[in-house]
Each structure stands twice: as structure tokens, then as C-alpha cells.
Structure 1
Amino acid sequence: MSNHSFELPAGYKKWTIGLIVAGVIALLYGAIAYHPFGHSEGITDSTRFWAVLLQNSVFWLLIVNASMFFICITTLAWGGWQVAFRRVPEAISSVLPVLGIIAFVVLMAIVWGGHHDIYHWTDNEVYNKSSSLYDKILDGKHGFLNPKFFTIWSVITIGLWWFLGQKMRSLSLESDKGGPMDYETAKKWNITNITYGSAYLIFFGLTVGSTIPWLWLMSIDAHWYSTMFSWYTFASSFVSGLSLMALFVIFLKNRGQLEYVTDEHLHDIGKFMFAFSIFWTYLWFSQYMLIWYANIPEETGYFKIRVQGPFRGIFFLNLIINFICPILILMKKGSKRNWTLMTFMAVLIIFGHWIDFWQMVMPGTLKENAHLSFFEFGIGALFVGIIMWRVGVYLTKNPLLAKNHPFLKESIIHHT
């Protein structure tokens, strides 16, 4: 077997199948126990079913999409250090079509299925001035918060993420054909990559950096708003995406693959994980501090249930896992070069931000009725299994090294 080709080990297959089976069992259990189909008024069992699917589908979709963001941002920066493991974020980003379809189905089922318990703004009565349910605040946001706009923008968003991501991956694979590029060929190839990468980043800013977190997550608490929320969501999903990349890089390296990847590359991934953990904390504190300081009722309500209510423990556990642990462990240079410690931190960070998304969704949907059990963790396991399956397929079908990439030598001699 060539060092640049990959064959799925038996253990990997068993874990993938096991996680998917556990997830399917959890999904079937939820479908039977929580009666998810039909209209929901108030807090019901179906609220829990759809809220858990919403949290997981959005969280894992944004994580895999973060890998394409990483590819595009390093492409525009003319970065070469990551080329030695470039196929890893490519493989992770290839999961987007699958998770995009799942997320879209979940979102459409909620928006068009009469689940006003999740998105209160989908109830037409809140816009009827003669109704006792009329909501002046939601009526003022009706041009933005309505099922048609939500659907159209979700289709465009997932579709363009899919198309532009596929284009970037296909350009990378095309570079494997033939021999090393001459100067003119490499220049033209780089310009094409930069063109599509720029388009992706512009659209990424219009979606992940602004509108998509507003629509998919912030509109759960439709009376509340924060200008920092999209950046907060981006930071949470991007540091989780970096951690997922680190896990696959370490896994492949431990199997004797990715021969050009060294402690230097892992160190740089660790620096990004550390940096964006601090960036996430900056946004966490700034959003909370400004709302606390202003003490405006329509803003403080969002944090009241999280800080003083049943979510208090999760709220501060979120800070401990996602800030205290990274700053204490990842600050040292040696810890970012320790493959075992980096594996532990990557898993911890992903779990911590899964909890972060959980506390974004549940207080506004389940109120004090939320709790973590087999169903919540089982659905999370299902998405992890799907990611492992699709990443494994991509890695087995394509070379692990972009051998003709113009910056490969720069990555091989990379030193921090």
C-alpha cells in the first residue's frame, strides 16, 4: 500500500457502524416516544425531538463547513504550511452535502410543520392585529422572519456552500493529474483557486458571519437579538472544526500516513485551536457583559434563564471547558506538540461547543424541561458516525497528498 493511499482499518469501520447504529436507535426511540409529527402548541415531547435534531444538524453542519473555510482562508493567504495535510479538511468538507440535506429537512419540517414551539414566528396569529396572540415585535420583523424567506435563503446557502466547496475540492484533485506544474500552470491554477476561494469567503461572510445564525438559531428567541451572535456562533463552530481536523490528522499520522506532517504542523493547528478558544471567550464575555451592563429587559431575558435558571450549571461548564481548559493546557508550546494531549483537547473542545450549541437551543424551546440523556447523546453519535463514514470514503478514494501542489515544498520544510 502506498503511503499516500488509505485503507479503512477494521476498528474505524466498527466505530463508524457502532455510532450510526446507536444513533439510529436513538432516533427511532425519539420517533416513538416523543410523537414528533403533527402540530405542537406549547412545550411538548415533540418539542424535545425537533430541538435536539435542530441543535445537532446545525452544529455538525457548521463544523464540517469550517474545514472549507480553513482551506479558502489559507488559499487567499498564500499559505503553504497546511498542504501536507490539505486532504484532511477536504475530506471533512465533503460531508457537507449529506449534513446539508439532513439539516435542510429538519429545518423545513420545523418551519412548515407547524412547530411554533421551536420558531414562534411561524405562527400566523402573531401577525394578526385582531388576535390575542398579536406580537408587535415579531410583526416588525416579519419581512425577515417568515417561512418563505427562511426556505429560499436556506436553499441558496446550503447550495452555494455545496457548489463552491465541491469546486475547491475538484481543483485540488485535478492538480494530481500529470507531473509537477511549471510556473505558468501553477500561477493559473493558483489564480483559479483564489477566485473560487474568494467567492466562498464572501458568501461565508454573508451566511455564517451574519444571516444564517440569525435565522437558524437566534430566531428561536425572536424577541432577543445580539449583533455579536453570528461571530460568536462562527467562533464556536470554527474552533470545533479545527479540533475535528486535528483528530483526523493525528489518526492518520498514528497509522503511518501523512509522512510530511510533523510536530510543526500539529503545533500550528494547536495555535489556531488556542487562538480561537480565546476569541470565542472574548465574544462570550463581551456579549454577556454588554447586555448585563445595559440591563435592558428585552435583552437580559435571554441570559436570565441561562444564568439564574436550570441552565446555570451548563452555562458555566461551557466556559470552563471552552476557555479555562484551553488556556491552561494549550498555552504551552510543548502541549501543542503532544499528540495524546492534543487528541484529548480536540475531543474536549468539540464536546464543549456541542454543549454550547445545546444551551443556545434548549432554553428557548424546552425552557426548564430540558435535560441530557441517551436521546441527546445518541443523536450526537449519529452525526459523528455519518462524518466518520463520509470522511473515510473520501480518504480511501483519493490520494492523501496533494503531490503537485505548488506549495508542497514549503509545507515539507515548515518550521515554527
Structure 2
Amino acid sequence: MAIKEFFAIPARYRTWSMALMGVGILSVIIGFFLYGTDEHHHGARFWASLLQNSVFFLLVVNAAMFFICATTLAFGGWQMAFRRIPEAISVAVIPLGIITLIVLIALVVIDPHIFHWLHPHGDKILEGKSAFLNIGFYIIWTILAIGLWIVLGYKMRQLSRELDNNPLPDAESGRKYIFKNTVWASIFIVWFALTVMSTVPWLWLMSIDAHWYSTMYSWYTFASTFVSGMALITIFVVYMKNQGYLEYTNEEHIHDLGKFMFAFSIFWTYLWFSQYMLIWYANIPEETVYFKSRVTSKNHSGAYTGLFWFMFCINFLAPLLILMRRGSKRNYTTVTFMAILIIFGHWLDFYQMIFASLFPDHVTLNLFDFGVAAGFVGLIMYSVGNALTKAPLIAKNHPFIKESIIHHT
């Protein structure tokens, strides 16, 4: 069987990616004149949408490198047949990271009234958190977080491509190669834990409600973006299969990707329920205020109630009911539909996480937000497509490649 090693970007794929990026740029321009110059809200509506989309899509593509490093530490081999897909997705961390960095720094430099901790005005709670919530720490930690994601991700991709044209001469060389991969994967995982699983969601998102906090917030954010990241990997794997690539990837691998989407949808729900239940049960005003605009009836200022429960149904009930069956996880059409639905559902989750805090009395979701999201989707398509053309689609000469080819569940 002739193996198609290199990806050639179809004209239709390139057209769609460019068109979506064009929609995104146009949406940002129009949105700036509609909302960015609003003196009443100081452009908060405009910057909130940029914050939501940039942070969400950055964390989603960065989850692809987390998947690579986690399976590396687990000495997993099943994913090797399609490993170049998450590697290519992780390349998108570079352009999205730069955009997100610009947006996040602009939020504290331009000050469109997103973060109230910038002006404590004698507020004892905000002043008590000033060692953490201050411009200097925020900017330095943001640069370090995104910068090391890019650098460490590049190193992992470089290690993967070392063997493409340089086969390992003996078993001892293979052990040394695996050990080196494990060391760098460990470094990435540690940094990922110090950022995505802890500090970054506190700084970028939770500090919008600077008086409120949840010890589960970072794990909740991680679960949301990781399951979306697995969904994105699934979409690209199925697309490449339909284009005649990834000959060694079969329904067994698709099945396992479906398991990841199912399992982490349940994990996200567990965190969603735990956070909500603990706050509801304690019934402490400074904690329940977070859910006032999200789950109470409209007569009690719950403007986001419908959106909140709609998002919950998409992110929990749909994966539970559809992906529970073995056959559903092996059907290309079903897993693709669910992958798109999961990404959309968690995009909505990020929307209510940000906008229900900034605009608790009314939902502002409109075409502007979808247009900005389309731009980021187009950028991901463009970045991933270009990355896939730079290296063979199979991780040649890797010690675990045979294990992936004969993988069976």
C-alpha cells in the first residue's frame, strides 16, 4: 500500500480558512466602531469578546500539546498513528498566543473596565489581593505562560521530527530517545499545571469577579478546554482520513478519541456540579453572587438562565446520550458532529463565564461574537494546514509506531 506521507492543502480548504479569517478581521473592525468607541462602557463589550475568543481558542489548541505530553509520560503508543495531527494543532499556539498576549496586555494598559482590581479605591478585599492582582505580576506571568507554552511545544515537535530521517541504530538509542522525550514532556506538564491548572484562569478570567473565587475554577477551565481540544483533534483526524491520509489510523483510534470526548465531558460535568452544589449548599452571599445572573429566574435578574442551561445540555446530556454507545464512537459522522457540538458548547460556556460577570442584566450575544469566533477558527485551520505540510504525516522510525499500527480495543 502506498502511503501518502505529506499533506497537500486542498484549494477549498485554503479558501475556507482565508474566508473565515476575513470574516474575523471584518468583525473586529466593525465591532470596534460599534462597541470599541463606546464611552459609557469604555469599550468593555468589544474587549470582552476578544478576551473570550482569544483565551478559549488558545487554551484549546494548547491542549493538543498537553495530550502529546500526557501520552508520552504514560508511555502510550496508540496515538502515534495520528500524532502529527495534535503536533500541527499545537503550532497554532504561536499565532493565537501572540494575539492573546496583545489582547490581555491591552486589557490592563487601555483599561476598558474589564478588571475592577485595577482600581481598588479603598476596597479592602481588592487591596488584600494586590500582591497577586497587580499589573506587573499580571503582565510578567502572562508573557511567561504563553512564551513557555510556545518554546516547550516547539521542543516537543522538534524531538518528534528528529527520527524522520535518522532511524535509531539500536535498542539503547531508543531507550535514550524515549527518556529524553519523557524529560521534556515532564517539563511541559509541570508548567501546564502551574498555568492552565492554576494561575492563568485566576488572572485572565476569575479576576473579572475579583471579590468572588472558587478553588475549582482552574480545573473547571482545564476540563472545558481539554475536552474541546480532544474534539478538535478528532475533527482533523476524521478530515484527514476522508482526504485519503493517515492510512494507519483506523476506527480503533477514532473509538479512543471518542472515549476521551465522552470521559472528559463527564469529568467537566463533575466539576460543574461540584462547584455549583458546594456554593448552593453553603448559601454564602459572596459566593452565590456568581450564579445570580446565571441560574435564577429572569424575574430575579437571571438574564443568562436559558443560555446557562442550554450550554449544560450541550456539554453534558448530548455527549452522555450519544457517545455512550460503542458504535457511536466508531462512526465518523457521529464523532465529527459531537466534536463540533462540544467545541460550540464550551465556547458558549466561556461566553457566560465572562459576559455574565460584566453584563449581568442582559445577554449581548450577537453576530459580532460569532464573527470573531469565525476568525479564530479560520486562523486555526490555516496554521494547522500549513504545519501539516512541513513534516511526514506518520512519525517515522518512532519506537512505538508498531504498537499504534496494531492497536486494538
1:47 to 44, 48, 52: 44
1:221 to 203, 209, 233: 209
Does structure 2 retain, via aligned residues, the 8 Å contact 1:181–1:406?
no
Counterpart amino acid of residue 252 in structure 1: M
Counterpart amino acid of residue 97 in structure 1: I
How far is the alpha carbon of 1:11 from its aligned partner?
1.4
1:260 to 248, 258, 265: 248
Match of 1:106 in 2: 103
Unaligned runs of 5+ in 1: 127-132
Q: Distance in 1 between matches of 2:359 and 2:108?
A: 17
Q: Distance in 1 between matches of 2:26 and 2:111?
A: 26
Match of 2:90 in 1: 93
Q: Distance in 1 between matches of 2:247 and 2:44?
A: 48
Cα pair distance change 1:45/1:151, threshold 3 Å: closer
TM-score w.r.t. length of structure 2: 0.97
Q: Distance in 1 between matches of 2:42 and 2:259?
A: 42
Match of 2:260 in 1: 272
1:391 to 374, 384, 393: 384
- Deviating above 2 A after TM superposition, structure 1's stretches of 4 or more consecutive aligned residues are 178-182, 366-370
Q: Distance in 2 between matches of 1:401 and 1:368?
A: 51
How far is the alpha carbon of 1:2 from its aligned partner?
5.5
TM-score w.r.t. length of structure 1: 0.95
How far is the alpha carbon of 1:366 from its aligned partner?
2.3
Residues 1:58 and 2:46 are matched in the alignment:
no
Q: Distance in 1 between matches of 2:200 and 2:169?
A: 39
Match of 2:136 in 1: 148
2:184 to 192, 196, 199: 196
Counterpart amino acid of residue 372 in structure 2: I
Percent sequence identity over aligned pairs? 58
Q: Secondary structure at the match of 2:43?
A: helix
Q: Distance in 2 between matches of 1:93 and 1:236?
A: 17
My pick for the range that moved more, 347-356 or 366-375, is 366-375
Q: Distance in 2 between matches of 1:103 and 1:413?
A: 40
Does structure 2 retain, via aligned residues, the 8 Å contact 1:20–1:382?
yes
Q: Secondary structure at the match of 2:389?
A: helix
**How many residues of Structure 1 are paired with residues of Structure 2 in the alignment?**
403
- CA deviation map 1:113-166 (0-9, x unaligned): 122x2100012xx2xxxxxx4211101100000010000101111111111100
Aligned-residue CA RMSD (Å): 1.2
Does structure 1 retain, via aligned residues, the 8 Å contact 2:234–2:254?
yes
Counterpart amino acid of residue 23 in structure 2: A
Q: Distance in 1 between matches of 2:66 and 2:100?
A: 19
Match of 1:119 in 2: 115
Q: Distance in 1 between matches of 2:253 and 2:12?
A: 26
Residues 1:338 and 2:331 are matched in the alignment:
yes
How far is the alpha carbon of 1:49 from its aligned partner?
0.3
Counterpart amino acid of residue 117 in structure 2: W
Does structure 2 retain, via aligned residues, the 8 Å contact 1:243–1:347?
yes
- CA deviation map 1:221-246 (0-9, x unaligned): 01000000000000000000000000
Match of 1:130 in 2: none
- CA deviation map 1:295-327 (0-9, x unaligned): 000000000111121100111011100000000
